[in-house]
Homo-oligomer: A and B are copies of this chain.
């Protein structure tokens, strides 16, 4: 069991009171027992803390532990950052055993760095290279010639396709598929989709067409410190690799099409989808269910609100919302106007009626 002192070390803050007290788990003040560390990093928890059974706590900056009858405490300034350090210190490592599980199928010419663990029923293909101290979960499949850096944490049932390259400290949640084939088809004749795009939908002929596959010769290239969520999918590029920049975090069920180039330190939330060949800058933040059209360019430092659908080029620094996505202040203005729209319709009808009456028309 960890001590309060150890946590203080992780947080880089002094202990107020007794640092030797151990605890079973961190918990909110209202449910924390006498063996727990209460998390009360904002003054909103003050009342709950007063009636809490906890003897030790993490408190907001300026709080006085003695006021709450605590035997030990640590105060912190930025709560979410403290949460990052605290949870990092308390997180438990998966129990996948040591070394290569006897049921794993590892190609003879695959190279695994020292300290790397491979779980039960994992499959590691020819010439795969994995760095040191990586943890490869049960039932993971890593195909031929893939290269993964040091300190990877790849959870159960992830698939990493042939020739995919990934940097250091990669974290991947279960079920993600990195390196599926791109969705790219062509018809021998100009297709109805091409016609619809060219004519904005006004002239589209019918008629038979069937789809011929454009194969994906490229792979996926992922930088250092990237995370990928559960059941997310990242497709390989057609000729060059699909690219995900250093530090970018990708949430569950995100779909990243072929040929995407995504920059560094982006945050891509749950169920976001990118059609193919789009270029995304650095530090872009897309909220859940955002959709991004194909073959467009998204600049740096773009932020898009939940469920925004982006159909056009976005300049660096723009903050977007809506479907179709537009500058957030424009969208907020539009939504205000829409709330008034039924009343405006009535007012317009009144004006027209009045005009008729006065014989203006």
Query: Residues of A at under 8 Å CB distance from B?
Result: 25-28, 31, 39, 78, 80-81, 83-85, 87-88, 90-92, 94-95, 101, 103, 105, 119-121, 123, 125-126, 137-139, 141, 143-144, 155-157, 159, 161-162, 171, 173-175, 177, 180-181, 183, 185-186, 188, 191-193, 196, 200-202, 204, 206-217, 225, 227, 229-231, 233, 235, 238-240, 247, 249, 251-253, 255, 257, 265, 267, 269-271, 273, 275, 283, 285, 287-289, 291, 293, 300-301, 303, 305-307, 309, 311, 316-317, 319, 321, 323-324, 327-329, 332-335, 337-338, 340-342, 344-345, 347-348, 351-352, 354-355, 358, 360-361
Contact = CB atoms under 8 A, between A and B. Distances in A.
Contact of A206 (B231, B309, B317): B317
A257 B239 contact: no
B270 A214 contact: no
Contacts of A186: 78, 80-81, 83-84
Contact of A105 (B78, B103, B185, B270): B103
A196 B1 CA distance: 40
A42 to B, nearest CB: 14
Nearest to A320: B201
A78 to B, nearest CB: 8
Contact of A230 (B233, B267, B329, B334): B233
Given A215-B91, A227-B213, A275-B288, A200 B335 contact: no
A192 B84 contact: no
B348 A344 contact: yes
Nearest to A266: B211
A307 B84 CA distance: 33
A323 B27 CA distance: 36
B233 A255 contact: no
Contact of A175 (B105, B175, B207): B175
Given A139-B139, A288-B275, A255 B252 contact: yes
A200 B329 contact: yes
A351 B345 contact: no
Contacts of A208: 265, 283
Given A139-B141, A210-B265, A301 B192 contact: yes
A193 B337 CA distance: 25
A50 to B, nearest CB: 19
Contacts of A351: 348, 351-352, 355
Given A255-B252, A317-B204, A338-B334, A303 B355 contact: no
B143 A95 contact: yes
Contacts of A225: 210
Contact of A267 (B177, B211, B217): B211
A285 to B, nearest CB: 5
Contacts of A202: 319, 328-329
A269 to B, nearest CB: 7
A275 B270 contact: yes
A27 to B, nearest CB: 6
B344 A354 contact: no
B193 A27 contact: no
Contacts of A265: 208-211
Given A84-B212, A144-B94, A249-B183, A306 B306 contact: no
Contacts of A305: 201
